[in-house]
Amino acid sequence: MENANQNKTALKYKEWIINAFMELLKQYKYSEITIKQITLQADVSRQTFYRHYKSKDEIIQEYSNKVCDEISEKLLSLEDKSIYQITLTYFNFWKSYSDLLYLVRSSGCEHLLVEHYNEIMLKTLDILRPSMAQYKDEEFALIKAFLIGGFYSVKSSWMENNLNTTPEALAKLICSIIS
């Protein structure tokens, strides 16, 4: 029972630290935020911070891993695994996280999201394999890389245009380009 309470406490502190960090990102560029600011905002000691994180990079990476894992789960759980449904789900998901995307982009720490994003999307897009059985494994790997880069670039352009295009319109456009 004591171990369960320790885990709850650790999760609570981590949540406070993440929330404090996200609040600071609204006011400062990523490079300007210090551990001291995070601990003051979270109302935790430096010792508590360092018990859970080695650096502020770890905070954003942990949070982005959680978000990327969530999009992966959404895509993998789709019954209809058509490119249209995958694309629609992808853009609906990121629309729901638009505040986070703008925050990360404006604060200059977007690069910290990309590595796990690419890794998780490579695995996730394996759901397309049955519908692309005609391609050799090497070709399918290239198709996935193309889609990941395309999705990421379209998402970035979409954000720059204030999400003016609906996820449905984006899914239709991408499907028409791919086919």
Residue ranges, the chain, pLDDT below 70: 1-4
* Cβ burial, residue 11 (10 Å; 0-12/13-18/19+): exposed
| pLDDT attached to residue 2 | 58
| pLDDT attached to residue 64 | 85
| pLDDT attached to residue 4 | 67
Domain chopping of the chain, boundaries: 1-53, 56-178
| pLDDT attached to residue 1 | 55
| pLDDT attached to residue 10 | 86
| pLDDT attached to residue 131 | 84
Q: The whole model's pTM is what?
A: 0.83
Q: Name the token pair of 161.
A: 């245009």
Q: Name the token pair of 177.
A: 């380009």
Query: Angle at the Cα of 112 (from 116 to 108), degrees rounded to 5?
Result: 150
> HEC string of the chain?
CHHHHHHHHHHHHHHHHHHHHHHHHHHCCHHHCCHHHHHHHHCCCHHHHHHHCCCHHHHHHHHHHHHHHHHHHHHHCCCCCCHHHHHHHHHHHHHHCHHHHHHHHHHCCCHHHHHHHHHHHHHHHHHHHHHHCCCCHHHHHHHHHHHHHHHHHHHHHHHHCCCCCCHHHHHHHHHHHHC
Domain 1-53 top-level CATH class: mainly alpha
| pLDDT attached to residue 73 | 93
